[in-house]
Structure 1
Amino acid sequence: MAKWEGKVSSTLSKASANQIWPLFIDFFNFHKWFPNMSTCYGVHGTNGEVGGTRYCAGFSLPNEDGGADQVSWSKERLVAVDHEKMTMSYEMVDCNVGFKSYLSTIKIVCGDGEGCEVEWSFDVNPLEGLTYEDLVQKYQNGLDKTTKKMEDGLVQISAYSL
């Protein structure tokens, strides 16, 4: 079966790449920014370094455990980090949402002025019960909400430091 590959992006106008990158590379604390993710913490290695593994729970993909009362969860490992190019890749090593193969890359692209663009690409096996278009839309919605929350948080911090 062919893999699903795709990329979504979100443009920020009030935050620079240098402000956004540390929020993404804080790999063990992504629940602060990602919508509906109630839990995220390190289970192995060092936060933000290759090999660091996190446990995440409470996101919008349906779980295989068969019940609405069951929380969707995953364990994800950082497999590449390039601070200079502001890119990071991670793989899903275990989950209850149906991924048998999963690799994602986040890249922060500097803008011409104050802003930046965040790109989120993925290479996954097809998920039963979802179309490719549904999955792309979930990624886009998740990235848009995440970057808005990050940008709003940074604007609030800037306002307090004035």
Structure 2
Amino acid sequence: MDQNSNPEPKWKGEVKAKVSGPTPDQAWSLLGEFCSLNRWVPSLHTCRKLDGVEDQPGCVRYCAGSVNRADPGQPVGWSKERLVEFDPVGRSYTYEIVETNKGFGSYAATIRIVSVPEGCCVEWSFASDPVKGWTREGFVAYLEKLARGVAKRLEEEIASVAEDKSA
């Protein structure tokens, strides 16, 4: 039987994490820098621009960190990611993975800061081929954990900036 005759459908999902304290604009001023994801995602130790202009479609970043479930023998999981759309007014950007060792085929995601009555929320939506080494449920749970970590780091950074200004 042809292995491609019944491919697993695309994975799609969205995770959200409330950010307590910061306004949407404060949170976006930090998270909206495409090549600074390592400041907000604890498992990333590197995120740097490889090509293009920061925050302009076509910009490519290199991200590396300690998570690589596709090949646990590799100590570092890395990806090259291209910025597809950047919307500072809507406080969002969309990117796609163009090369990786982390088991991804097609993967695109949008990170957005949205206003909620209590402040703001980080939304991370994605569409991807099934990812080697993951179940869909496990991958969504991982993204939920990442989104909560991003929200916590944003809260800490903005609280720190507020303390510095009041000192």
TM-score category, normalised to shorter length = over 0.9
- How many pairs align? 159
Where does the alignment leave 5 or more consecutive residues of structure 2 unmatched? 1-6
Q: Which residue of 2 aligns with 1:93?
A: 98
Q: Which residue of 2 aligns with 1:131?
A: 135
Where does the alignment leave 5 or more consecutive residues of structure 1 unmatched? none
Rounded to whole Å, the distance in 2 between the matches of 1:12 and 1:59 is 25
Q: Which residue of 2 aligns with 1:3?
A: 10
Q: Which residue of 1 aligns with 2:51?
A: 44
Question: Is contact 2:57–2:83 with CA below 8 Å preserved after alignment?
Answer: yes
Identity of aligned residues (%): 35
Question: Is contact 1:51–1:79 with CA below 8 Å preserved after alignment?
Answer: yes
Question: Is contact 1:34–1:142 with CA below 8 Å preserved after alignment?
Answer: yes
Q: How does 1:51-90 map to 2 (within 5 A)?
A: 51-64=58-71, 67-68=73-74, 70-90=75-95
Deviations 1:115-160 (A, max 9, x none): 1011100001112231111000000001101110111111011011
Structure with the greater alpha carbon radius of gyration: 2
TM-score (norm 2): 0.90
Question: Is contact 1:63–1:71 with CA below 8 Å preserved after alignment?
Answer: no
Structure 2 counterpart of 1:143, one-letter code: A
CA-based RMSD of the aligned residues comes to: 1.3
Gap change, CA 1:147 and 1:59, over 3 Å in 2: farther
Rounded to whole Å, the distance in 2 between the matches of 1:137 and 1:59 is 17
Q: Which residue of 2 aligns with 1:143?
A: 147
What secondary structure sits across from 1:105 in the alignment?
Answer: strand
Question: Is contact 2:68–2:76 with CA below 8 Å preserved after alignment?
Answer: no
Deviations 1:74-110 (A, max 9, x none): 0001101111111210000000011110000111111
